[in-house]
Chain A
Amino acid sequence: MNATTQPAIAVSRARRRLPAELNILLVLVGISLTFEILGWILQGQSFLANPQRLSIMILQVSVIGIIAIGVTQVIISGGIDLSSGSIVGATAMIAMSLAQVGTFDRAVYPGLTDLPVVVPVAVGLLVGLVCGAINGLFIAYTRIPPFIATLGMMVAARGFAKWYTKGQPISFPTDSFAALGKGLAPVFIFLVVAAILHVVLRYTRYGKFTYAIGANPQAARVSGINVERHTVKIYAVAGVLSGLAGIVVAARGLTAQAGMGTMYELDAIAMAVIGGVSLSGGRGSVIGTMIGMVIFGVIISGFTFLRLDAYYQEMLKGAIIVAAVVADVYRQRKRVKKS
């Protein structure tokens, strides 16, 4: 049926925009080419045409990349997660303590050695899930800022990791557990996680709700979304992914230490932000974060390649993170002015 006999009203066709990821990809290309040119000038060799360097770089960033994927959906929902690095530490300890070989006579649980790999993995993921769900419950139902809730978890989970073996490292995992960190396994795990979360964020209601809550929580609520329940889910998923990262870190290092994952949360947030995930919520994507992660890796391995002092590297890393946020704020302001 037709609502009206009048001519079409003065609501015109709005233009479609290019995907935001394109800009970030251009930044990546630009940075890579800069290092390539500097490489030929300063080192007399190619930066990119070096498979070994590239695989080291990808390995370096993919563990934190797993966390960054979880953090991406948290930031899209308008939140933040500072606890992921500590959750890595806690799950690494717990998972490793259940993955030790029986031939090692000072195992944490002498009666629980040589367990099938599924046990430490399941327990590790569960620990991450619980930590994340606690974050979410506090944020959703007590309305404390995500910054504070996850800061508390950051301190508490790290404390737990240290208490677990009174500071002693845990070593000697079974071969099947160690396989999770062997060679390019972490990269494959990362890619699977990224693919799943990409589909989830784009093609499921879970994803749409996440964007909706980040864009306008009030609007999400009046659209009938249970904002509280969904917030808990978002943080729980982030916790699970931090737990997975903890398992991979421990497997890769063949040992678990309470200090593992320190500062990972900030690197993960940086990857997301560099990848165009807006700290004000509602915008960002897994693809963007993946590009952000590669930019992050290229910068670090590029600096190393140019033999830049490690201290300078950290200072520059800080500057790059701030620059990414400034770019986001600037984009936002421009948008507001236009409308």
Chain B
Amino acid sequence: MVSPTTAAAIKRVLEATETDGLLAIEGIRKEFPGVVALDDVRLRVRPGTVHALMGENGAGKSTLMKIIAGIYQPDAGEIRLRGVPVTLKSPLDALEQGIAMIHQELALMNWMTVAENIWIRREPRNRLGLIDHAKMVEMTESLFSRLNIVLDPRAQVSDLTVAQKQMVEIARAVSYESNILIMDEPTSALTDREVEHLFAIIRDLRARGIGIVYITHKMNELFEIADEFTVFRDGKYVGTHASKDVTRDDIIRMMVGREITDMFPKIDCPIGDVILEVKNLTLPGVFHDISFSIRRGEILGLAGLVGSKRSNVAEALFGVRPAASGEILIDGRPVTIDSPGAAMAHGLAFLTEDRKETGCFLALDCLENIQSALITRSHVKAGFIDQATVTKLAEDMAAKLRIKTPNLHEIVENLSGGNQQKLLIARWLLTRPRILILDEPTRGIDVGAKAEIHRLITGLAAEGVAVLMISSELPEVLGMSDRIMVMHEGHVSGFLDRSEASQVRIMDLAAR
């Protein structure tokens, strides 16, 4: 016999679930230093559905998921579970509220067994309070047989393949018996057959009333598995629809509908002979049969989504992680580039993607940062740096690029992102490169500095430098490039001329 008050409470919860769904997110805002990652976003997940979250790189999908999983705290906004507002201060909070997540970066403990990884913090214990390993293995086996996974629970995670690790993560997330399961690009490491298996698991979970948030940028996955989807763009909410109501093109338009304003227009400059030619460059398991060429004065844009391995191609060209096979020709002659030093000797320069991790020496001053590439090849006599000449060159370059710093002895950590980026460009320009590879040259810097860097790149092209520019920002690629190469999962999926390129056409090639 249920008391009237309990009945009323149940009714209230049911009604809330009716209107609010399982998970409701309203007005979430999250800022990181210098960037607004999420601005007034919302999301509503109904029980027993798969809700896909779509968006370009940097749209804010992963940030929102980390907020729901309790890893980040939002600056503003509300999260409601079955109509009840909650605060999720830690991953433990989220887990206890019935939210589990499969992380994009593998979050497993190497050197521990599969079973230990799955049941960490929830290990079965015997009467003495000690962990019962046999029971834990048994629990893992029954979980695996339920999910149709064949894997030894006693195997060490460090011995597993990436796909096997991914299955362990999936099993662990399922083992929490949570109401909400977040999957952040769970298929990125899986083969087609394994993806099918994952989808079977997902369909089963859905049938049991679990709400699944599925982050992906693969269109075919969306249509195969998702009931509904929400699109984010630049940290903002764009819209939510049922996947059966829309076409692929509709979604692409929602994802890319960004205005092309405040972009520096490309100046047409004479394009010369082919300087760099790449034939069938392959690094097994990473990228395959990459072929393209760049001419003097040409800017070749390189577009693709996360996982398209664009940066790996750049790293191979610059000898950071050389390709296993294929040919690189400079001025028509085959060359061997097995180290960054060799690449520099052939006139290449490489502005890396992450200026803090692989670019700047943050604790050193501007002068030391600018001169570091130059002095590996010249201006050193009998072991001593010709500091007077080098300082003069660095000062001139800093002035030319209008790097804003009190003087060149300022520590680089204190500079703004835009000035750090200019500093790195200055470093490479001092080596007088003939081929300049730029990986995300304007990521995370403000609009004014962006325009200046765009002007600089165009200017270099006008001087005859061949530029390969990787960028996740489609307007940048469209605005700057003479031609655009699009990659998809380690393969070149197409080339577009400036005249025929559009955001929709690029996304079409990038998101097969």
User: Which listed segment binds A: B13-21, B100-108, B300-308?
Assistant: B100-108
From B106, B131, B159, B164, give the contact of A11 (CB < 8 A). B164
- Residue B116 contacts which of A208, A283, A339 (CB distance < 8 angstroms)? A208
Given contacts A4-B204, A222-B101, contact A11 B163 (CB under 8 A): yes
Q: Does B382 contact A (CB under 8 A)?
A: no
What is the interface residue range for chain A against chain B?
Answer: 35 or more
Question: Is the pair B204, A1 in contact by a Cβ cutoff of 8 Å?
Answer: yes
Smallest CB–CB gap between A303 and chain B, Å?
34
- Given known A-B contacts A8-B148, A17-B156, A220-B109, A225 and B194 have beta carbons under 8 A apart: no
Chain A positions within 8 Å of B267 at CB level: none
B110 — which chain A residues lie within 8 A by C-beta?
215-216, 282
Q: Is the Cβ of B150 less than 8 Å from the Cβ of A225?
A: no
Do A219 and B194 contact each other (CB < 8 Å), given the known contacts A1-B146, A204-B131, A205-B121? no
CB within 8 Å of A: which B177-236 residues: 191, 193-194, 196-197, 200-201, 204
User: B149 touching A208 by the CB < 8 A rule?
Assistant: no
> Is there a chain B Cβ closer than 8 Å to A43's Cβ?
no
**B148 pairs with A9, CB closer than 8 A:** yes
Whether B91 and A222, one on each chain, are in contact in the complex, defined by CB atoms closer than 8 angstroms, is yes
Contact: A222 with B69, CB < 8 Å?
A: yes
Closest A residue to B205 by CB, please name it: A3
B111 A3 Cβ-Cβ under 8 A: no
B403 to chain A, nearest CB (A): 31
* CB of B161 to closest CB in A, whole Å: 7
Name the residue in A17, A202, A215 with the highest tally of chain B Cβ atoms < 10 Å from its Cβ: A215
Any A CB within 8 A of the CB of B155? yes
Task: Give the chain A neighbours of B131 by CB distance below 8 A.
Answer: 202-205, 207-208
Instruction: Kindly state whether residue A14 has any CB partner on chain B within 8 Å.
Output: yes
Q: Mark A4-33, 1 if CB is under 8 A from B, else 0.
A: 111011111111110000000000000000
Residue B394 at the chain A interface, CB threshold 8 Å? no
Q: How large is the interface on B (under 10, 10 to 19, 20 to 34, 35 or more residues)?
A: 35 or more
> Which A residues are in CB contact (< 8 Å) with B106?
219
Q: Does A218 contact B (CB under 8 A)?
A: yes
Could you say which residues of chain A place their CB within 8 Å of the CB of B163? 10-11
Contacts of A339 in B (CB 8 A): 158-159, 161
Q: Which residues of B contact A203 (CB under 8 A)?
A: 130-131, 133
Asked if A14 contacts B159 (CB within 8 A), the reply is: yes
| The one of B91, B96, B160 that contacts A14, using a Cβ cutoff of 8 Å | B160
CA distance A20 to B236 in the complex (A): 51
A204 to B130, CA, bound (A): 5
Among A10, A223, A226, A339, find the residue whose CB has the most chain B CB atoms closer than 10 A: A223
Interface residues of A in 248-284 (CB under 8 A from B): 282-283
Q: Is A212 an interface residue (CB 8 A)?
A: yes
Q: Is the CB of B109 within 8 A of A219?
A: yes
Please give, as numbers and ranges, the residues of chain A lying within 8 Å of B107 by CB-CB distance: 216, 218-219, 222-223
- A4-B204, A199-B130, A208-B131 as given contacts; A225 in contact with B121, CB under 8 Å: yes
Q: Which chain A residues lie closer than 8 Å to B156 at the CB level?
A: 14, 17
Closest chain-B Cβ to A302's Cβ sits at a distance in Å of 32
Taking the nearest CB of chain B, how far is it from the CB of A329, in angstroms?
15
Check: A143 CB closer than 8 A to any chain B CB: no
Which residues of B sit under 8 angstroms from A211, Cβ to Cβ? 109, 111-112, 116
Does residue B95 face the partner (Cβ distance < 8 Å to A)? yes
Contacts of B112 in A (CB 8 A): 208, 211-212, 215, 282
In whole Å, how far is B106's beta carbon from the nearest beta carbon of chain A? 8
> Does A52 count as interface, using CB distance less than 8 angstroms?
no
Q: Are B120 and A12 in contact (CB under 8 A)?
A: no
Q: Is B154 touching A283 in the complex (CB atoms < 8 A)? A: no
Task: Indicate if A142 sits at the interface (CB-CB under 8 A).
Answer: no
Determine the chain A residues whose CB is within 8 A of the CB of B150 once the complex forms: 8-9, 11-13
Select the residue from B90, B111, B151, B161 with max chain A CB neighbours within 10 A.
B111
CB distance from A300 to the nearest CB of B (A): 30
Q: How far is the CB of A191 from chain B (nearest CB, A)?
A: 19
A55 to B212, CA, bound (A): 63
Asked if A11 and B149 sit within 8 Å, CB to CB, the answer is yes
Q: Are B149 and A13 in contact (CB under 8 A)?
A: no
Residues of A within 8 A of B (CB): 1-6, 8-17, 199, 202-205, 207-209, 211-212, 215-216, 218-226, 282-283, 335, 339
Q: Which residues of B contact A (CB under 8 A)?
A: 69, 71, 90-92, 95-96, 101, 103, 105-112, 116, 120-121, 123, 129-131, 133, 146-152, 154-156, 158-161, 163-164, 167, 191, 193-194, 196-197, 200-201, 204
Q: Please list 28 pairs of residues, one from A and one from B, whose beta carbons are closer than 8 Å in the complex, sorted by A's number.
A: A1-B204, A2-B146, A3-B146, A3-B147, A3-B148, A3-B204, A6-B196, A6-B197, A9-B149, A9-B150, A9-B167, A11-B149, A11-B164, A12-B164, A14-B151, A14-B152, A14-B159, A14-B160, A203-B131, A204-B130, A208-B116, A209-B121, A211-B112, A211-B116, A220-B109, A222-B103, A224-B90, A282-B109
